[in-house]
Chains A and B, each alone.
Chain A
Amino acid sequence: MDVEAIVDNLPLYLQGTWMTIQLVALSLLVGLGLAVPVAVVAGSRRVWVSALPRAYIYFFRGTPLLVQMFLIYYGLAQFEAVRESFLWPLLKEAYACALLAFVLNTGAYTAEILRGAIAQTPFGEIEAARACGMSRAMIMRRIQLPSAFRRALPAYGNEVIFMLHGSALAGVITIVDLFGAARIVNSRYFVPFESFLTAGAFYLGLTFLIVWGFKLWERRWHAHLRARDATPTVTGR
């Protein structure tokens, strides 16, 4: 075990961790913003309305994230129009490409989770809202979405962990995230075990933090589902 190579490079690992956290947080935030309208539209009973968002969800859930990232990072440069466009200064950055791929990917998975949750709204609640004279938009906003968010929480927790793990792919396209840092340490000191195990330990720590965070969140949001004697219920996973 070459502990020295790891200790000497701890700043690099920390820098990588910060990059990973940034990438994941931004992707999740923008991805969620994308997922809500997509989920609502994809749930429409009119085929011509739901077809496009459903195709988007199907494509991004049915293909590997790595391929999606390569399509954006290596693929887009194939087109003259893209290279000439005002977006190119942004798209030529590996960071922006990774972010775009992650947003589109987590957006699709989150939209599917939400779509399922919206579809499960007890019909009685909708009937009651209708009886109160709410419009369909208002029912969506006030009744269906809030309760769908609660139902989606455990599945969304899993998605957040998947996003954390998926973000490691950024290290494949020159970004120095946690995995990218490990690759630099490995190739400079020839210590595959030490370098990648260290990165693994960091990821494990982040995963535990997320799991713990979601447990707290669920306790808060699912308080009404808890048994009276106050033993916390184990949800979902």
Chain B
Amino acid sequence: MLADLHTWLTTASAGLLDGYLYPFILQGMLLTIELALLSLLLAVGLGILGALARLSRSPIARGIATGYTTLIRGVPDIVLMFIFFYGGQLLVNDLGARLAALGETWSLPFAVGWDYVEISEFTAGVFTIGLIFGAYMAETFRGAILAVPRGEIEAGHAYGMTPFQVFTRITLPASVRHAIPGFGNNWLVLAKATALVSVIGLDDMVFRAGQAGGSTRQPFTFYLVVAVLYLLITAVSDVVLRHLDRRYSVGVRRA
């Protein structure tokens, strides 16, 4: 099936854009999409944690979550990416080396620490984008949870549900509808933010457009192609999001 697709694409795109469209650019697009989806997964996880922390009764959790969302949303994503990408590996491996040295000085019976942990550009990209958009998702989810009518939650309590049951059976499902517009918006911004990884040397479609544009001396053509591919991602997302919105708004009267 995949092999068929490959053959079809190869024949269909033969000679198009000096032969750079497929596999060169389109495989870069695949990497972009992969990166975006994995980052989204991480961002949603962090977003839920962040939202719960901000709504929790513990001042420490609230403080940490507020600090996280404020810091992330106050600094440009490309700067954050450079901090995490260049600094992150340094930090992780420095910690490993320090632990190892500590183990030696205390002459522990077993070795501690680690020599190096490989963090690829791709992993660094997923973590950075996930971490950044986790902060935006946290804000969206917090708003969505707060938008659930108080009465519905009280009704749950009145039925004798535990707080956990109330959260999983009422608050969470009911908040999805309120979260979708913000979620969709975050996703669209996230998808476009993946272009930044080309600056840290990950060969996504923007990076590849630069390479192809350089060797064919047609940078405009290739960047335009990539722009159109981004529009394609946006357009498909729009359709999916609209579908989701309709699905989760069943039962809500429309004007």
Contacts and interface: CB of A to CB of B under 8 A. Distances in A.
A and B touch in the complex (CB under 8 A): yes
Contacts of B234: 62
A203 interface: yes
Contacts of A145: none
Interface stretch (A92-100, A113-121, A194-202, A212-220): A194-202
Closest 4 CB pairs of A and B: A75-B220, A192-B86, A64-B195, A165-B76
A78 B221 contact: yes
B210 A172 contact: no
B121 interface: no
Contact of A200 (B75, B218, B235): B75
Interface majority SS (helix, strand, loop, mixed), chain A: helix
Contact of B227 (A59, A193, A203): A59
Interface of A: 58-59, 62-68, 70-71, 74-79, 161, 164-169, 171-172, 179, 182-183, 186, 192-193, 196-197, 199-200, 203-204, 207-208
B15 interface: no
B226 interface: yes
Contacts, number: 117
Contacts of B73: 161, 207
Given A165-B76, A192-B83, A207-B74, A66 B219 contact: no
B227 to A, nearest CB: 4
Contact of A74 (B71, B195, B213): B213
Nearest to B191: A64
Nearest to A78: B220
Contact of B80 (A68, A192, A200, A208): A200
Nearest to A79: B220
A172 B218 CA distance: 20
Contacts of B235: 62
A196 B82 contact: yes
Interface string B216-235: 01111101101100110011
11 contacts: A64-B195, A64-B196, A66-B199, A67-B209, A71-B227, A77-B219, A78-B217, A167-B76, A196-B82, A200-B75, A207-B73
Interface residues of B, number: 40
B42 to A, nearest CB: 20
B83 A164 contact: no
Contact of B76 (A58, A71, A168): A168
Given A59-B231, A78-B218, A64 B192 contact: yes
Nearest to A164: B76
Given A77-B219, A200-B75, 5 more contacts: A62-B234, A63-B227, A67-B230, A74-B210, A78-B220
B206 interface: yes
Nearest to B86: A192
A165 B77 contact: yes
Contact of A197 (B83, B196, B206): B83
B173 interface: no
Interface in B64-86: 71, 73-80, 82-83, 86
Of B82, B213, B220, chain A has the most CB atoms within 10 Å of the CB of: B82
Of A70, A77, A165, A208, chain B has the most CB atoms within 10 Å of the CB of: A70
Given A172-B199, A200-B75, A203-B75, A68 B83 contact: no
Contact of A64 (B76, B206, B213): B206
Given A71-B223, A166-B76, A192 B210 contact: no
B14 interface: no
A129 B231 CA distance: 40
B76 A179 contact: yes
Contacts of A193: 83, 86-87, 90-91
Contacts of B226: 67
Contacts of B210: 70, 74
B198 interface: yes
B231 A63 contact: yes
B193 interface: yes
Contacts of A196: 79, 82-83, 86-87
Contacts of A75: 213, 219-221, 223-224
